[in-house]
Amino acid sequence: MSKTEKKVSQEVDDLEIESSLGEDKKNKKNKDNDEGITISSSKLALVRSLLLNIKESNEKILDLFSATISPKDEERISIGQIIDPGNASGMGSDGDGVDDGRIIEGVFDGENMIGPDGKQYSVPANYASKSKLVEGDILKLTITGTGTFVYKQIGPIERKRIVGVLEQGSGGNFMVISDDKKWRVLTASVTYFKGQDKDEVVILLPKTGESKWAAVENIVKQAN
């Protein structure tokens, strides 16, 4: 074979090798792209599902918040977090060293305070009755170094008054009935006013939204 023929043959071989390598690279690139699209779609579907769940949860939280706390109350809460209003302690006194204690803010559920961590904090029935706390009120709890619980009402919600009839259940608990609706009331409140079954009762309720509990404002005794 002549030098020219060898050179041509070598060039042909080089072209075939280069073409083969180019095809391999192209195939590999296409394969990587195909795999990339599959993984990307899966991840996008997962992210979309998570975002939808987060959106749904946020909407439920906002609905619950709107139903129990009005814009006016939100303003009061913000102010209450900055300013310590007045003298509204539930247990103990300001002279008990409460400034040195642990402070927790939460929402009154009619019987207890629910903290931001979801935990229930016991509210003395006598304090709740005397202060006429309504479901949805914002409270501040100070736990002193000696373990004393000191409550302050820092965000009272707007209230409305309703007149109903007192009813005592078989378990001894009291309820107030008005227009086929029922609300639970603290036994301590009924006892304070010396209420009895079938007495007429004036109760306080949140102005907006639904509630299971009511605060007793007064009781009209039945005539003997």
More confident residue, 3 or 145: 145
Higher pLDDT, 101 or 59: 101
pLDDT tier at 52, thresholds 50, 70, 90: low
Domain shared by 40 and 76, yes or no = no
Indicate if the pLDDT at residue 73 is higher than 70.
Answer: no
Q: In terms of domains, do 213 and 172 share one?
A: yes
**Cβ proximity of 167 and 201 under 8 Å:** no
Q: Are residues 79 and 119 in the same domain?
A: yes
Indicate whether 24 pLDDT > 60.
no
What 119-124 contacts at long range (C-beta under 8 Å, 24+ apart), as own/partner pairs, is 121/149, 122/149, 123/90, 123/151, 124/90, 124/91, 124/149, 124/151
Give the per-residue pLDDT at 222. Answer: 74
> Within this chain, do residues 92 and 168 fall inside the same structural domain, yes or no?
no
Judgement on whether residues 164 and 146 belong to the same structural domain of the protein? no
Q: Same domain, yes or no, for 5 and 53?
A: yes
Whether residue 151 sits in one domain with residue 79:
yes
- Residues 132, 62: one domain? no
Our count of domains for the chain comes to 3
Query: Dihedral sign, CA of 192, 193, 195, 201?
Result: negative
The per-residue pLDDT for 39 is 47
pLDDT(23) > 60: no
197-217 mean pLDDT: 95
Instruction: Identify the CATH number of the domain in which residue 181 sits.
Output: 2.40.50.140
Residue 185's pLDDT is 97
Domain ranges, residue 207:
159-220
CATH of the domain at 102: 2.40.50
Q: Which residues contact 140 (CB under 8 A, 6 or more apart)?
A: 80, 84, 103, 104, 105, 151, 152, 153, 154
Do 63 and 15 lie in a common domain? yes
Which of 80-89, 99-108, 150-159 comes out lowest in average pLDDT? 80-89
- Band (pLDDT 50/70/90 cuts) for residue 80 is very low
pLDDT mean over 213-217: 97
